[in-house]
Amino acid sequence: AATVEHTFVVSQVNMTHMCNEIPVTVVNGQLPGPTIEVTEGDTVIVHVVNKSPYNLTIHWHGVYQMRNCWNDGVPMVTQRPIRPNGNFTYQFDVAGQEGTLWWHAHDAFLRGAIYGALIIRPRNGAASYPFPKPHKEIPILIGEWWEKDLAAVDRNFSRGLYDEFSSGSTINGKLGDLFNCSGVFEDGYVLDVEPGKTYLLRIINAALFSEYFIKIAGHKFTVVAADANYVTPYTTDVIVIAPGETMDALVVADAAPGRYYIAAQPIQAPPPDTQTPEFATRGTLQYTGGVTNSSRADVVAPEMPHEHDTIKSFYFHGNLTGLRHRQRAGAGARRRASLRHARAGLHMPARPQVVQERDEPKSNQVIANMNNVSFHDATATPILEAHYYRRGGNGVMRLEPTSRATVVRRFRHGDVVDIVFQSTAMLQGDSNPMHLHGHDMFVLAQGIGNYDAATDEAKFNLVNPARKNTVLVPNLGWAAIRFVADNPGAWFIHCHFEFHLAMGMAAVFVVEDGSTPNTSLPPPPPGFMEGSP
């Protein structure tokens, strides 16, 4: 196994889109940030140098971080934030998993521009993929372009003022030709293909806000993995991807040589909430040897699903099942073996709720919560540190006499935990992509309406459920998941819609040490920021 080392310098640079030059906080001056490519079993070292005016951390989304919670990168959960002009070095092994993951800032809205791909190749090379070896592998990162100051947007969101929108969507940082600046269309992302060849697209939804439909005119996708877990190959003309999810899909360049639009269209909450003006974007797929100097009018456009078609998302996600794969080993196999009985059950209604603001009793504030408690950051000591030194309290640490609190649930090492996420949205018909750190979840079932144990438990797929780190709870529906709490530490669980997270739709799961040193959390690494907040 090798060691892959990167330096991430975070700073503000000026970027221009839509006729406006604005400062954007990014890694190494680029958007998206650098791609980390590793082979399963490698060690990753990333030196973060914070030249930005913000506190920040970097999270390695979907990486198990087995017995390495100290490097998970969640501010005030696993570490103190990296201050302006500060440095921090992350180190982790990528073991027992392969596929497409990503990294992003975990502070407020900074992840709107601080993100990049993390690609884990199999130890035995592409020949061990459970699908034909692709000609090329291409990361496709869906993001948003924000002309507003994200720090200000975040402040507004945490106060429940949620009418803030991005200016456009991006594919690999590019807005594309739906955006016109003084009569000049923006350049879009271009994917060059050779006729007859197969491409593996590693699609990541890094957007703060939207679930997307992805389509390529004249081509089909075969989805082969989601969240770095292989799935039963599933052929579809549209991919549906929620914030935090990744989808690996094969595309065969088998159409007539020419140019085809690659479209990413945000799914909008259904009426009456039609106030989300999120914009679609498009790039092009073009055949080498085809006509490349044709006009925009000659590019074939896909027919997109209706923007409110959330049922399409429901079926797309319901069609994903897990694929048993001989390359899976280690933590993965152990987790699969224990997919039998749940020893702990949780019902977690996740919803926005209207409360009265204490200091301004006349205004209504919107908060999001799970089990009626809205998450509030710990303010003095990160939860992991408090847990490790046994300084923490049990259960819910209430920091304020309101419905906001630092919600911590404890599990014994090895507990098999069932959770039903119930969406009970009052104000918005949003779906909720729930993301758990440090573990994958088996998606046992999903449904529309209210979960009813008496009838719905019979629908659980205990044979080949998909394994995800981000599970989409359908719009006005529920999702039942199971995970094995076998990774000691303090793990954040939250909605990956940034505005739901900012409003408190989050909690921390503390997994206790097991009975042996091998199943316990080691001490913080040397040089870890402890002590002063």
**C-beta of 77 vs 485, nearer to ligand C2O:** 77
**C-beta of 112 vs 302, nearer to ligand C2O:** 112
Closest CA to 427 of 314, 270, 289, 290: 270
Over its C-alpha atoms, the chain yields an Rg (Å, rounded) of 22
Q: Name the minimum Å distance from CB 261 to ligand C2O.
A: 28
Question: CB under 6 A: which stretch of 252-260, 357-365, 491-499, 524-532 binds ligand C2O?
Answer: 491-499
Q: Looking at 61, 202, 282, 387, which residue binds ligand C2O (CB under 6 A)?
A: 61
**C-beta of 144 vs 177, nearer to ligand C2O:** 144
Q: Looking at 494, 507, 508, 524, which residue binds ligand C2O (CB under 6 A)?
A: 494
Task: Give how many residues touch ligand C2O by CB under 6 A.
Answer: 10
Length of the chain: 533
For the segment 223-252, give every residue that binds ligand C2O (CB under 6 A).
Answer: 244
Closest CA to 107 of 123, 86, 126: 86
Partnered with residue 9 across adjacent β-strands are: 49
* CA dist., res. 372 & res. 375, Å (int): 10
CA distances from 113 to 96, 105, 187, 408 (A): 29, 8, 19, 29
Element (H, E) at 495: strand 489-495
Q: Name the minimum Å distance from CB 163 to ligand C2O.
A: 24
Residues 186-225: x where in contact with ligand C2O by CB under 6 A, - otherwise, as a string: ----------------------------------------
Residues 72-111: x where in contact with ligand C2O by CB under 6 A, - otherwise, as a string: --------------------------------x-x-----
CA distances from 19 to 147, 169, 218, 279, 280 (A): 11, 16, 32, 17, 18
500 sits near ligand C2O (criterion: CB under 6 A)? no
* CA dist., res. 445 & res. 479, Å (int): 6
**C-beta of 61 vs 259, nearer to ligand C2O:** 61
**C-beta of 238 vs 348, nearer to ligand C2O:** 348
**C-beta of 117 vs 191, nearer to ligand C2O:** 117
Q: DSSP character for 519?
A: G
* CA dist., res. 62 & res. 48, Å (int): 19
What are the start-end ranges of the E strands in 288-387? 344-356, 364-370, 374-375
Alpha carbon 337 to its chain centroid, in Å, reads 26
Q: Looking at 109, 260, 314, 492, which residue binds ligand C2O (CB under 6 A)?
A: 492
* CA dist., res. 177 & res. 35, Å (int): 25
59 sits near ligand C2O (criterion: CB under 6 A)? yes
Residue nearest to ligand C2O (CB): 61
Q: Name the minimum Å distance from CB 244 to ligand C2O.
A: 5
Closest CA to 72 of 46, 98, 52: 46
468 sits near ligand C2O (criterion: CB under 6 A)? no
Q: Name the minimum Å distance from CB 492 to ligand C2O.
A: 5
DSSP-based three-state secondary structure for 299: coil
Q: Name the minimum Å distance from CB 430 to ligand C2O.
A: 17
Element (H, E) at 150: helix 150-158
Backbone angles phi, psi at 320, to 5 degrees: -85, 125
- Cα angle vertex 443, ends 440, 444, to 5°? 135
Q: Looking at 437, 439, 467, 482, which residue binds ligand C2O (CB under 6 A)?
A: 437
Q: Name the minimum Å distance from CB 406 to ligand C2O.
A: 16
Element (H, E) at 332: helix 331-337
Residues making contact with ligand C2O (CB under 6 A): 59, 61, 104, 106, 244, 435, 437, 492, 494, 496
